[in-house]
């Protein structure tokens, strides 16, 4: 482990194992990351007047993290989102995944990345690399999958770099499940935020959130967020894809390929804008529809439905079961890497 001038402190313990918090700072910005779930616990940036605002939902104790099932701040994987029937094929071999949202598998089941205590590989004042081995067969996923995630704070940008390698052919599609509230994590509903997703197409899904396999145009639907739109306007629309999920909770296919800007969100009260950049083919835009109420959060905050929104960069949900979706297959020995950035500035 390489630790230079890093700020590490005990956060608690789980089944006798310590959980550590790593604090990153760069000028007026800071971020706190936990070894439990490699979760982003706080992300503080100044608003246009210079006042620090903590933009992500989080908790004060390990127990609070363990006792919720909303994946708050965590790295989820090996395979994010849903696999229909908790079943798919890898090299023609049927996998039986964990049907934790029966009959489907959500975020890799009950032993996914979000439940693991990760190892600190290296840490400095601006970056931390955490690693984890997801053992062969756990949750039905083949191969010892060695994964690492590096969080880097670079000015008003939080970068997340992923790296994974498996010793057997497998499937790999991790994401980060932070809930952002650009008015501040404790400020209530995000319904006043404006949202823009640079995507002409999205993947519709059934009532259980399993994609139909279609990739449909957003044009003339409330899924068209190509121009910034107040969330409240979209959320109140009578549209089956919104009603089925109690709000936004679908995968968009952002335009273009390679590392590009895919979304922008503005806090209506803070004047803080977040832009999202990634090399992934998809993004799950989720408006916290299933957050329970009341959900006690950090520093006395109380969360509930729509207390935060997620922009989970990913390949499309249920990809192995849809030939038309980009593949999430990972060959044995192949090194898979990916980058996502959340950048902050003042709303225009």
DSSP-assigned beta bridge partners for residue 341? 159, 277
Specify the residue, 11 or 71, whose C-beta has the smaller distance to ligand GAL: 71
* CA pair distance 175, 342, nearest whole angstrom: 13
Specify the residue, 71 or 151, whose C-beta has the smaller distance to ligand GAL: 71
Write down the catalytic residue from 32, 134, 185, 312. 312
* Closest CA relative to residue 22, chosen from 1, 46, 50: 1
Find the shortest distance in angstroms from Cβ 88 to ligand GAL: 18
Specify the residue, 21 or 176, whose C-beta has the smaller distance to ligand GAL: 176
177 is catalytic: yes
Find the shortest distance in angstroms from Cβ 339 to ligand GAL: 20
Nearby residues of 199 by Cβ (< 8 Å), 6 or more positions away? 218, 225, 226, 252, 253, 254, 255, 262, 283
Write down the catalytic residue from 107, 177, 185, 322. 177
Specify the residue, 81 or 183, whose C-beta has the smaller distance to ligand GAL: 81
Specify the residue, 317 or 320, whose C-beta has the smaller distance to ligand GAL: 317
Q: Which residues form the interface with ligand GAL (CB under 6 A)? A: 70-71, 81, 106, 209, 249, 284, 286, 290, 312
By DSSP bridging, strand 201-203 and strand 17-26 are: unpaired
* CA pair distance 159, 276, nearest whole angstrom: 10
Find the shortest distance in angstroms from Cβ 141 to ligand GAL: 18
Find the shortest distance in angstroms from Cβ 251 to ligand GAL: 8
Find the shortest distance in angstroms from Cβ 288 to ligand GAL: 8
Active site residues: 177, 312
């Amino acid at each position: 482990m390489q630790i230079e001038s890093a700020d590490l402190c005990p956060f608690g313990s789980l089944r006798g194992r310590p959980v550590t918090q790593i604090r990153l700072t760069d000028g007026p910005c800071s971020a706190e990351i936990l070894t439990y779930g490699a979760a982003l616990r706080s992300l503080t940036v100044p608003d246009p007047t210079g006042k620090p605002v903590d933009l992500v939902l989080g908790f004060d104790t390990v127990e609070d993290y363990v006792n919720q099932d909303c994946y708050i701040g965590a790295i989820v994987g090996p395979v994010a989102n849903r696999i229909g029937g908790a079943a798919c094929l890898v090299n023609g071999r049927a996998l039986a995944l964990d049907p934790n949202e029966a009959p489907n598998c959500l975020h890799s089941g009950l032993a996914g990345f979000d439940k693991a205590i990760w190892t600190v590989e290296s840490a400095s004042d601006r970056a931390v690399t955490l690693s984890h081995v997801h053992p062969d067969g756990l949750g039905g996923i083949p191969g010892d999958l060695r994964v690492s995630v590096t969080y880097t704070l670079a000015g008003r940008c939080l970068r997340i770099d992923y790296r994974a390698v498996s010793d057997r052919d497998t499937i790999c599609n991790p994401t980060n499940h932070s809930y952002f509230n650009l008015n501040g994590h404790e400020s209530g509903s995000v319904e006043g935020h404006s949202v823009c997703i640079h995507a002409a197409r999205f993947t519709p899904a059934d009532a259980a959130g399993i994609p139909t396999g279609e990739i449909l145009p957003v044009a003339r639907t409330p899924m068209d967020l190509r121009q910034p739109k107040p969330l409240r306007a979209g959320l109140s629309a009578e549209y089956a894809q919104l009603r089925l999920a109690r709000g936004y909770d679908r995968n968009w296919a952002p335009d273009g390929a390679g590392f590009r800007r895919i979304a922008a969100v503005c806090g209506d009260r803070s004047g803080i804008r977040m832009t999202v950049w990634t090399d992934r083919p998809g993004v799950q835009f989720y408006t916290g529809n299933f957050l329970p109420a009341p959900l006690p959060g950090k520093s006395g905050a109380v969360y509930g439905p729509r207390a935060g929104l997620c922009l989970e960069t990913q390949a499309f949900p249920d990809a192995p079961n849809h030939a038309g979706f980009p593949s999430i297959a990972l060959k044995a020995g192949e090194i898979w890497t990916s980058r996502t950035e959340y950048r902050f500035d003042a709303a225009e």
